[in-house]
Structure 1
Amino acid sequence: MKATQSTPSCDDNGIVIKDISSDTRVNYSGEKYTGYVLDKSTLLACPEVIPSFDCDTDEIFKEWSHSAWDDFHHAYLIIPTSVIEELNAISPENEVYYYIARQVLRRLRKLIEAVKFVSDEKKTDKLKTAIYFPQQKNLFTVFPNTRSLSFFGNSGLKDPVGQLLGAVDSAKRHAMIENLVLLTNDEAIAIRARASGIATDALTSKAPAYTGRREVTVPFELYEEFMNSNSGISLEMWQQFLPNESRLFANEFIVMSPKLGQNGYDVLKGKFEEYRNIGRFDCKQQRIVHLYYIHNLTTIRPKNAGQAMYLEAINHPDISVVVVTGSAGTGKTFLSTVCGKELHESHGFLQYITIPCAIDFQRAHGYLPGSFDEKIEPNIAPFKNALKNYLKLTEEKFKTAIKRSHNDKLDSTDREEANANPKKKGGKKSADANLGNDIERMADKLYRECYKTIAVEAARGLDLADAFVIYDEFQDQGPREADTLLKRLGTNVKAIIAGDIEQVHQEGLNRQNNGISFIKHYITDLPMVAQISLGKGEVVRSEFVKDYIARRDPNQD
């Protein structure tokens, strides 16, 4: 479900009802309301369940602020104050959840202050006072099941689950609701609740995860206009043809496919270059423009739409920060390393820096014996491997050797000759070994010529200006470290922030709470930032890896 501009904000509809049992506007006794008690896990996963405002300063929340709320009709949504205390007690150390908890509390405060919600002090435990939304016929309230609130992250709740289940039981009695459900995404709480005779259900966010790209089937006339125009199409035209499409973010990529007529006879005249159907929203021009910069990299070509977007973002002069996520084998490190190498040859920047963010290097640095270069070697291996693959594609002697190895299927005569002449056979093996050594030496030399490696700890005090910077395995940074590293970026910089949020190695971090997930909350829709999520169908390493990832994560895009 997507929010649209026509959705009215809650401050237009919210009405405080002092006593819902007697107010004729609600008809509480006549209508069959279903009660829902929301716990901490639900609010953290789905903050948009709290109605928001058109003046919400958080653009991401604002975009889908009604997506979950509109699913409820004839519902009485109840948030116990013990859950408020749990949210307030989330430590700043757990920075992603802390950020979301602050958003939830801020949204809730805006709501109750905007409609002047104050419970009847004589009936606070009776659930009589609520905010009524006539459009959905929903009720919303905060239930005071605790009498005190602890601050500064020190929760006074000794048994928060017990408090929650007690609030559900109390709400069922005082709200006079037969059908009352505890909404929780916590398996342990759900089991304990059901064992106590309380119905449960899960609530997950319907807010679209921002991937930096979208695929849209557009009217044929719009598609034809975009394909034939060198300057793309205006945002105004896009909105005229697609009024219900959610708004575009800065540097968001759009993969367009045409909606054909009833008879399927629409024909696009002329031949177009590959990826011509992909546009990028240029917020300065307020236009959806073509990919102009993917051809700056002369030695390699993108293998799929995701790589085309990635190369466009890296090479675009107005985009300073590129965040790329995706499974192993999608080309994240390869393309960034090769682009940096080519920019080095054209003197695009003064410095070319790699900052390995993998947690195993951070643990090893300063503890294992050896020089800095020896200790950091395992973590710069992905960059060198990228350069080796690049050399295989561009150096003639390596291309020839690889072609020969692919086609070297001996017939019977060749086998007999090889067996009769072992010296010749050994000579071929020796030549192949020499080629292997050559490519290792060349890749190492190329890396040393182009790049300087900086440890995460050393990067924290630097001003990275006039530089091409690659942060690799950024998901292994905690939110606080990610914040620090991001603030190192100075003027005239191109920063590639790469990682796979499905492979977090740092203890205490997870898919939602890691460096990449954290920074996405703050950088989305900035005019100098592009984000690209490479899908599992865009794995290029091998057919085996592609099929393995598809089976491992069948429901992941």
Structure 2
Amino acid sequence: MTKKARKTYILDTNVLLTDSNSLFGFEEHDLVIPLIVLEELDRHKDRQDEVGRNAREVVRKLADLTKVHKDFKAGIPLGKKLGTLRILALSDLCADEKTAIGLPSELETKKSGDNTIVHFCQNYLDMAKAAGETAFLVTRDTILRLKAQALGIPCEDYRKFNVATSVNSLYSGVKTIDVSSRDEAVVDDFHDNKNDYTLPEDLQQDLHPNQFVVIKDGQQSAVARFVSKNKPLRHLTPSPGKLQPRNKEQEFAADLLFDPSVKLVTLAGKAGVGKTLSAINAGLEQVLNTKRYRSLLICRPIMPLGKDVGFLPGDLNEKLEPWLAPIKDNLRFLIGNSMQEGGKKKQPRHDEQVLQSYFDEGIIEVQAMTFIRGRSIANAFVIIDEAQNTNLHEMKTILTRVGENTKIVLTGDLEQIDNTYVDSVSNGLSIVIERFKDQDIAGHVTFLRGERSLLATISSEIL
């Protein structure tokens, strides 16, 4: 086996803030942390969110590594079969400022952490070239990578959490199978055998548990759910909820949402396709009518759209109201819809009173995701909305809160991410979609068709 050429990776701050274990994720290769990175870690360590937690964790790890090894320039061993870590200032790379390679005038005028790192990399690479060393800058910041590439600095994204090359290559939960060239009448056999038809073994290849199949034979077609290898296909169950599916993806989602054996459901798609509404509809039906679960818990991360509004007045509930309002809008719509009697809708005020009574009795809870840590949630239907704005650690925290007889649904638009520390293929929702696709207790559907309104659908496509 050919031994890998040893490399040196210069880490940007955002790598450490994304993954507190990144120091130990580069195998036998050596790491360099520019001194400015420590300054930026110090600036973030007091934040009361996942970024702050990662900053504090990295600081603790650095403190442990440097307890024995005090010479940061010589290289601190990171562990067995791992490389070394150096923490260097620009002054460690050149004798004085006069001999240092300078930044272009466009960057020199604006002193920033990114430009300081670019300046550091320019001089480190100059030193590394003389020593025959191969070095790369690793950063999650696209603009910083572009600056580096413009100046000839080799750079890479931090791809540890990337589960696909793009959104389009993620698992969709649906597969179309064309059987028109086969001798057997697959579609007819499926319809004739009701719940006792098993796909031919060669057609089962690459299918995942609870994946939906669209079988096409010329003008004929059939849809079903593939349960697992060598088991009969499952016919879709009509949705018992008040809100009926409008397209096949919503029908697929309902089949998963109302199946108690599927403990984890992930729903992805653009705005207006019905992800959240479908999930809340299923939750209300199974909590209020069939009593399968005791309560409905809906959470979403606190991520403002566009410019933040700063500190908000009032108590905790009043502060959270702007972020939780979209969820309550859906609840009002569904509960109001269910209150219709004899074609005559009851007064909106009565609907509001009914909804408030569910809140007061703890039957329905709407919370910011911040407050889910430490809870053990049993006998509940849980919805995590806007799950694309979570990272891996946050998603693990959420899923490990699930107790007995609890179903959890994750919804999100993978092309609408407001968290600067994740992207479309490294966020918590994408990771769960890919890593749970082979689990019998999980199912996924990617919604394709907008149903909110014609205007909303066109806007999501052309803007």
TM value normalised by structure 1: 0.54
* Equivalent residues in 2 for 1:381-400, closer than 5 Å: 381-391=325-335, 393-396=337-340
1:282 aligned partner: 227
Query: What is the root-mean-square deviation of aligned Cα atoms in Å?
Result: 4.6
CA distance in 2, matches of 1:447, 1:310: 26
User: Could you tell me which amino acid in structure 2 is paired with residue 254 of structure 1?
Assistant: V
1:217 aligned partner: 178
1:315 aligned partner: 258
Q: CA deviation at 1:387?
A: 3.0
Q: Is the 8 A contact 1:80 1:167 kept in 2?
A: no
CA distance in 1, matches of 2:127, 2:387: 42
CA distance in 1, matches of 2:21, 2:235: 36
* Equivalent residues in 2 for 1:350-369, closer than 5 Å: 350-360=294-304, 368-369=312-313
User: Could you tell me which amino acid in structure 1 is paired with residue 214 of structure 2?
Assistant: V
User: Could you tell me which amino acid in structure 2 is paired with residue 230 of structure 1?
Assistant: K
1:335 aligned partner: 278
Instruction: After superposition, give the CA deviation of every residue in 1:483-523 in whole Å (9 maximum; x if it has no partner).
Output: 21111011211111112222222343332343213434543
Q: CA deviation at 1:541?
A: 0.3
Instruction: After superposition, give the CA deviation of every residue in 1:4-38 in whole Å (9 maximum; x if it has no partner).
Output: xxxxxxxxxxx76x9xxxxxxxxxxxxxxxxxxxx
CA distance in 2, matches of 1:524, 1:224: 29
Q: Answer yes or no: is 1:208 the counterpart of 2:119.
A: no
Q: Answer yes or no: is 1:81 the counterpart of 2:7.
A: yes
1:465 aligned partner: 378
Q: Is the 8 A contact 2:14 2:421 kept in 1?
A: no
2:18 aligned partner: 94
User: Could you tell me which amino acid in structure 1 is paired with residue 385 of structure 2?
Assistant: D
2:436 aligned partner: 523
Larger radius of gyration: 1
Going from structure 1 to structure 2, the CA distance change for 1:194 and 1:485 (only over 3 Å counts) comes to closer
Q: Is the 8 A contact 1:82 1:163 kept in 2?
A: no
2:49 aligned partner: none
Q: Answer yes or no: is 1:502 the counterpart of 2:463.
A: no
Q: Answer yes or no: is 1:532 the counterpart of 2:456.
A: no
Q: Answer yes or no: is 1:543 the counterpart of 2:454.
A: yes
SS in 1 for 2:457: helix
Going from structure 1 to structure 2, the CA distance change for 1:81 and 1:549 (only over 3 Å counts) comes to same
Going from structure 1 to structure 2, the CA distance change for 1:196 and 1:388 (only over 3 Å counts) comes to closer
1:257 aligned partner: 216
Q: Is the 8 A contact 1:250 1:530 kept in 2?
A: yes
Q: CA deviation at 1:547?
A: 1.0
SS in 1 for 2:381: strand
SS in 2 for 1:277: strand
Going from structure 1 to structure 2, the CA distance change for 1:94 and 1:192 (only over 3 Å counts) comes to closer
2:425 aligned partner: 512
SS in 1 for 2:291: coil
Going from structure 1 to structure 2, the CA distance change for 1:170 and 1:516 (only over 3 Å counts) comes to same
* Equivalent residues in 2 for 1:414-493, closer than 5 Å: 435-445=347-357, 450-493=363-406
Q: CA deviation at 1:369?
A: 4.0
CA distance in 2, matches of 1:336, 1:254: 21
Q: CA deviation at 1:279?
A: 2.0
Q: Is the 8 A contact 1:92 1:98 kept in 2?
A: yes
Going from structure 1 to structure 2, the CA distance change for 1:315 and 1:80 (only over 3 Å counts) comes to same
2:321 aligned partner: 377
SS in 1 for 2:208: coil
CA distance in 2, matches of 1:255, 1:292: 12
SS in 2 for 1:214: strand
Instruction: After superposition, give the CA deviation of every residue in 1:401-453 in whole Å (9 maximum; x if it has no partner).
Output: 7xxxxxxxxxxxxxxxxxxxxxxxxxxxxxxxx95545544544456564023
CA distance in 1, matches of 2:153, 2:284: 64
Going from structure 1 to structure 2, the CA distance change for 1:358 and 1:195 (only over 3 Å counts) comes to closer
Going from structure 1 to structure 2, the CA distance change for 1:186 and 1:390 (only over 3 Å counts) comes to closer
CA distance in 1, matches of 2:153, 2:325: 56
Going from structure 1 to structure 2, the CA distance change for 1:98 and 1:519 (only over 3 Å counts) comes to farther
2:50 aligned partner: none
SS in 1 for 2:244: coil
User: Could you tell me which amino acid in structure 2 is paired with residue 388 of structure 1?
Assistant: R
User: Could you tell me which amino acid in structure 2 is paired with residue 545 of structure 1?
Assistant: A
Q: CA deviation at 1:545?
A: 0.9
Q: Is the 8 A contact 1:327 1:534 kept in 2?
A: yes
Aligned length: 364
Going from structure 1 to structure 2, the CA distance change for 1:525 and 1:79 (only over 3 Å counts) comes to farther
TM value normalised by structure 2: 0.63
Q: CA deviation at 1:480?
A: 1.9
CA distance in 2, matches of 1:190, 1:452: 45
Q: Is the 8 A contact 2:239 2:245 kept in 1?
A: no
User: Could you tell me which amino acid in structure 2 is paired with residue 501 of structure 1?
Assistant: L
Q: CA deviation at 1:160?
A: 5.3
Instruction: After superposition, give the CA deviation of every residue in 1:374-402 in whole Å (9 maximum; x if it has no partner).
Output: 3333343333322333256444479667x
Q: Is the 8 A contact 2:227 2:234 kept in 1?
A: no
CA distance in 1, matches of 2:122, 2:216: 50
User: Could you tell me which amino acid in structure 2 is paired with residue 251 of structure 1?
Assistant: N
Q: CA deviation at 1:373?
A: 3.4
Q: Is the 8 A contact 2:324 2:367 kept in 1?
A: no
CA distance in 2, matches of 1:368, 1:205: 39
Q: CA deviation at 1:216?
A: 2.9
2:98 aligned partner: none
CA distance in 1, matches of 2:85, 2:211: 41
User: Structure 1: 5+ residue runs without aligned partners?
Assistant: 1-14, 19-77, 109-146, 172-184, 199-203, 261-266, 269-275, 402-433, 553-557
SS in 1 for 2:417: coil
User: Could you tell me which amino acid in structure 1 is paired with residue 428 of structure 2?
Assistant: G
Q: Is the 8 A contact 1:391 1:398 kept in 2?
A: no
SS in 2 for 1:234: coil
CA distance in 2, matches of 1:306, 1:97: 38
CA distance in 1, matches of 2:122, 2:259: 51
Q: Is the 8 A contact 2:263 2:442 kept in 1?
A: yes
